[in-house]
Amino acid sequence: MARPERRYRPPMPQVIAARYELVELLGRGGMGAVWRARDRTLDREVAIKEVSLPQGLDGAQVERVYARTFREARSAARLDHPGIVTVHDVVEEDGRPWIVMRLVPAPALDRVVRAEGPLPPARVAAIGADLLDALRAAHEAGVVHRDVKPGNVLLTRDRAVLTDFGIATVAGDETLTQAGAIVGSPAYLAPEQARRQKASPSSDLWSLGATLYAAVEGHPPYVRPDVWGVMAAVLSDEPDPQRLSGPLRPVLDGLLRKDPAQRMHPDEAGRLLREIAQGPARHVPAWAPPHGDLAPGPANLTAPPAPATTTHGDGDAAGDGRRPAAPARWAVIVPAAVFAAVLVAGVVAVVIFVNGGGDGAGDPPSGRPSAGASGSGPRSGPARGSGSRGSVPAGYRLYNGPAWVAAVPEGWKAEPESRDVTFRDPDGAATRGISVQRVADVTGNEAKWLDDAAAQFKNDKDYPDYKQVRYQENVPFLGGQAAEMEFTFTKNGKPGRVWTRLFSFNGGLYDIVMIAQQGNWEASRPYFTTFLDTFRAP
């Protein structure tokens, strides 16, 4: 029998904007967490989205993303449609935006498919008709969702409801890009979005087609072993063969056209979806894209000009009858996936080497022993492998998070950033810390990811005097094979050293990083080995 899902509840009530009391964590996504909360003023339950940002953004980038979030939440609040989760309010707490929405007590489509398997075509058609109506209402109001996927579709008893307009963009508004981040889910990302072109209502139609495909087939249109394969397939391959779609096949074929101008019109898609949903399965004629009567549009609708090193043939202008040449993979992968390990280490460096103090020499101030030295804290920490997993050595405490637990040195301060946490030694002379970050919602290829990140360190101005000390693949960890490396660098004149381990865990890729001044390195290593040895699921 399946174990009931445990909900994470804050240890003490947290109140946002002196009004909304957080009750329990409902779920997490790429742009933050969603909480069930109680509106103390109106005495009603609401959902609150806690907006979290990718690590590594500077102050100006953070301000731009927050400004964009406030603006988009206000735009989403204009939408009044039964198929769209209502946005009640957007408030600021601790300098960050929180989006208050109607609480819809209904399962998401992805969970329904996992529990029930592929859904019947007629049921999927009804879901699609509801979502299409919601999207058309949003598009008429000038709002593009940008992240239509099964996880953002809630199935109530009466209809399908679309949620999470938190990363939507307002048509015609100034674009505030989230530097170096994937906005959207790769498996449901329209090809033009994968090439970092501006999302449009047609992009939402492609994502709707991918969502309906997943509902009726039981998996996304492109099943590949890793995110690189998915992104490459979205750009150049036809969707995987359909086995169960039946009468839905023409609709899916029409919505999943790579050229936005060639996709099925929403009027036609809506008519077919309603017919399939209302009657017994019947034959729907194969749909063909429009020809000849297309209004001339801008050249190269689906691919930006590729650098000379990534050119693959000619004829990439729209309307010439030839498929645009796909740029090399590195020209189209959004940098967040590639640089995630770089960003997390960079944030830790800023936290510790800028805010942590210390003189870089590694010697404790007079009369005050450094943690890890004799006289304070654990003398050296246990060696790797000592103690059984789950036990807490003397001088440590067990940190219990919603996704994982681990032993942390007593006195180290936790600085949570949504699902990411940095632990910092408060001893200014020690200048060290450990950070945990979920860097991607895919698993596998740890060595590839870390190797790509390592290549970027060499030319990163934030890591002067960079020197790789060790790189290792196939490190046994949590039943899988992790990748890890160590390197040295200089920050603000202080020599530092990093040990980072990248691994698959809980359906995603995680990165655990320790950073310390070089003078404290040997005394700091046992803290990290203990943290790794005790890291596990709750």
Query: Domain coordinates of the chain in residue numbers?
Result: 1-103, 106-172+181-287, 335-534
Q: Is the pLDDT of residue 25 over 50?
A: yes
CA distances from 229 to 203, 235, 314, 331 (A): 20, 10, 24, 14
Query: Is there a catalytic annotation at residue 173?
Result: no
Greater confidence (413 vs 257) lies with 257
Q: How far is residue 50's CA from residue 33's CA, in Å, rounded to a whole number?
A: 5
Q: How far is residue 134's CA from residue 266's CA, in Å, rounded to a whole number?
A: 12
Q: Tens of pLDDT along 115-157?
A: 999 999 999 999 999 999 999 999 998 888 888 999 899 999 8
Contact 432, 423 (CB under 8 A): no
What CATH number should be reported for the domain whose range is 106-172+181-287? Answer: 1.10.510.10
Who's near 220: CB < 8 A, 6+ residues apart? 187, 188, 210, 213, 214, 230
Q: What is the arithmetic mean of pLDDT over 384-393?
A: 54
pLDDT, mean over the chain: 74
Q: How far is residue 46's CA from residue 318's CA, in Å, rounded to a whole number?
A: 46
DSSP calls for 335-349? HHHHHHHHHHHHHHH
Q: What is the arithmetic mean of pLDDT over 26-34?
A: 72
Q: Is the pLDDT of residue 161 over 90?
A: yes
**Active-site choice (110, 130, 133, 147):** 147
Q: What is the arithmetic mean of pLDDT over 210-229?
A: 90
What CATH number should be reported for the domain whose range is 335-534? Answer: 3.40.1000.10
Q: Which fold has domain 1-103?
A: Phosphorylase Kinase; domain 1 (3.30.200)
For residue 287, give the DSSP letter. Answer: P
Q: How far is residue 304's CA from residue 214's CA, in Å, rounded to a whole number?
A: 29
494 labelled ligand-binding = no
Long-range interactions of 369-375: CB distance < 8 A, separation 24+: 370/427, 370/429, 370/430, 370/520, 370/523, 371/409, 371/411, 371/425, 371/427, 371/430, 372/430, 372/520, 372/523, 372/524, 372/526, 372/527, 373/523
